[in-house]
Amino acid sequence: MARISKFDLFAVDLPFRKPFKHAAAERNSSYSLFLKCVTDSSEVGFGECLPREYVTGETREGTFELLKRKILPAMLGMEFKSLQEVKTFLTRCDGKAPVDWVNPDQPQTAAWCAVDLALLDSFGRAFQEPVQLGSSGRFPNNVRYSPVISADSGLHFLKTLLKIRLYGFRQVKLKLEGENNNSAGRFARRVLGRRVDIRADANMAWDVEQALTTMRDLSKYGMHCFEQPIASEDIGGLVGPSTPFKMLANLPYYAANPIIRRFLEIPPHPQLMVVMVQREVAQTMVAEPGKMGILSVAVQYYARPSLVCDVPPQAFHPQPKVSSAVVKLELYAESPVAVANPPAFFDLVRAGFSAPRKQLHNSLSQGLGAPPEQTAELLESVDLDGRRRAETLSLDEWTALYHSWSERSGLASPGLRQD
């Protein structure tokens, strides 16, 4: 039996002998987190992670705090009877902390990587067993692993490529910098030979025309896989001009609203969206007057939503604490309501929901920054009872309110106060 007696966590910048460069960033140090795990028999093991906001959604500061505040305190004192028991625990966690410790929707890939490595190292020493990935003790042939190199020129680049070839790697990722891609790809192929699979990572370095030209050129050297060729937000560039497309997504709970709003509000629009979200979010999307929210109005302005099915926590591993649901959104060619200025319309809606538990005349007055008597006149002009709450208004009623508000000259624009 061995027990975790102590953790030490370090944020360390290990300097590189040569900067690691690609189109999205240049690094002169590793910007790492190291985790030291000590057992009750004084065996010591280390784990490392490299949080990247654009890769895992984690910052180093946030990962440090997550480990320090939630994960490591929960692990102190844990006991294991064997190294196999440690492996079973880590396999069951499947790259995430138990749901009782951390919300499974919180990004934590890097954080748990440090835990994974530190436990295997420390308990492998405690039980005096090597950490093996199979009964043979050899790395499985069906698991791919590869080096990552920055596209460069000169002697250093040549030496790195020769090392890769001598070590027998069969897959290599080549980080491109936006310039000299053709010569770097040609040189890498000549040194590595035809048996090595080279995939390119552009890190959003190109626009659409550059991507098409560069990928066509590099394909001459047997490179057919390209990661992040253009900016992730360039949906039009990804799908092509005037190309009909549909969106199918399992959306992370913490980012579902902005992702849905982005595809609804900014061209190009999909013809159809089928998304899995937290059940409460799904219910808001399909809500009727009485349970409406800002998201309800936004979704129903652009699309016809319908609930496809519920997805229980038991469908996931590990199980989250919340239930999910699948929602289908059939986008309108034109909105069912006539609004000349959609951004202004949604400014008004946000103003109405600025204090959702208050009566409408109060929340609108607060959100618009307008005197109560002006808000009362606005509501009366469209026969709306100011004692109602924003959640009770239908899309048609919001539209009528918007038309009256836009025609009146005495009210401030939403978000701007008249002093």
> Going by DSSP bridges, is the β-strand pair 25-29/15-22 parallel, antiparallel, or unpaired?
antiparallel
Question: Please, which pLDDT band fits residue 380 given cuts at 50, 70 and 90?
Answer: very high
CATH code, domain with 6: 3.30.390.10
Percent of the chain with pLDDT over 70: 93
- Beta bridge partners of residue 198, listed in sequence order: 172
Same domain, residue pair 10 and 122: yes
Q: Which of 41-45, 282-286, 337-341 has the lowest mean pLDDT?
A: 337-341
Three-state SS for 307?
strand
Question: Please, which pLDDT band fits residue 386 given cuts at 50, 70 and 90?
Answer: very high
Residues 412, 370 contacting (CB under 8 angstroms): yes
Condensed to tens digits (0 to 9), the pLDDT of residues 179-219 reads: 788 999 999 999 999 999 999 998 888 888 889 899 999 99
The 10 Å Cβ neighbour count of residue 161 is 22
The single-letter DSSP state of residue 268 is S
pLDDT of residue 396: 96
CA–CA separation, 310 and 106 (whole Å): 22
Q: Is a pLDDT exceeding 70 seen at residue 410?
A: no
Same domain, residue pair 19 and 85: yes
Helix spans in 97-249 (H): 109-126, 155-167, 181-192, 208-218, 235-239
Find the mean pLDDT for residues 272-292: 95
Same domain, residue pair 112 and 179: no
- Please give the residue that has the higher pLDDT: either 319 or 406: 406
Q: Is a pLDDT exceeding 90 seen at residue 279?
A: yes
Does 413 reside within a domain?
no
Find the mean pLDDT for residues 99-127: 92
Same domain, residue pair 326 and 291: yes
Q: Closest Cα partner for 153 from 21, 47, 310?
A: 21
- Please give the residue that has the higher pLDDT: either 234 or 362: 362
Length of the chain as a residue count:
419
The single-letter DSSP state of residue 115 is H
CA 63-174-50 angle, 5° bins = 10
Query: 19-33, 120-134, 193-207, 322-336 — which one is most confidently predicted on average?
Result: 322-336
Last residue of a domain, one of 232, 267, 283: 232
Which residues are CB-contacts of 287 (< 8 A; sequence separation ≥ 6)? Answer: 293, 296
CA–CA separation, 364 and 348 (whole Å): 8
Question: Please, which pLDDT band fits residue 418 given cuts at 50, 70 and 90?
Answer: very low
231-251 as b/e: b if 16+ CB within 10 A = eeeebebbeeeeeeeebeeeb
Same domain, residue pair 118 and 25: yes
Does 70 reside within a domain?
yes
CA–CA separation, 152 and 82 (whole Å): 47
The single-letter DSSP state of residue 128 is T
Last residue of a domain, one of 197, 232, 267: 232
CATH code, domain with 353: 1.10.8.100
Same domain, residue pair 73 and 36: yes
Same domain, residue pair 51 and 98: yes
Q: Record the tokens describing residue 284, joined without a space.
A: 């808001």
CA–CA separation, 249 and 105 (whole Å): 15
Does 337 reside within a domain?
no
Q: Is a pLDDT exceeding 80 seen at residue 232?
A: no
pLDDT of residue 243: 85
Does 336 reside within a domain?
no
Instruction: Note down the domain range covering 366.
Output: 342-407
Question: Please, which pLDDT band fits residue 419 given cuts at 50, 70 and 90?
Answer: very low
Find the mean pLDDT for residues 326-337: 95
Last residue of a domain, one of 75, 94, 126: 126
The single-letter DSSP state of residue 333 is S
Q: Record the tokens describing residue 352, joined without a space.
A: 């109405």
Condensed to tens digits (0 to 9), the pLDDT of residues 27-85 reads: 888 889 999 999 999 999 999 999 988 778 899 999 999 999 999 999 999 999 999 99
Find the mean pLDDT for residues 334-342: 92
Q: Is a pLDDT exceeding 80 seen at residue 178?
A: no
Kindly report the average pLDDT of the chain as a whole number.
89
Give CA separation, 155 vs 21, 115, 159, 162, in Å: 17, 38, 6, 10
Does 36 reside within a domain?
yes
CA–CA separation, 232 and 379 (whole Å): 43
Which residue spans within 291-361 are E strands per DSSP? 303-311, 324-331
CATH code, domain with 190: 3.20.20.120
Compute the 3-state secondary structure of the chain and give helix, strand, coil in percent, each to the nearest 5: 40, 20, 40
pLDDT of residue 320: 78
Give the predicted TM-score (pTM) of the model: 0.63
Same domain, residue pair 116 and 178: no
CA–CA separation, 79 and 86 (whole Å): 9
Same domain, residue pair 96 and 205: no
Same domain, residue pair 92 and 28: yes
Same domain, residue pair 98 and 200: no
Q: Which of 63-67, 224-228, 276-280 has the lowest mean pLDDT?
A: 224-228
Condensed to tens digits (0 to 9), the pLDDT of residues 309-320 reads: 999 999 987 777
Please state the domain count of the chain: 4
Does 99 reside within a domain?
yes
Does 132 reside within a domain?
no
Same domain, residue pair 8 and 106: yes
CATH code, domain with 253: 3.40.50.150
Does 217 reside within a domain?
yes
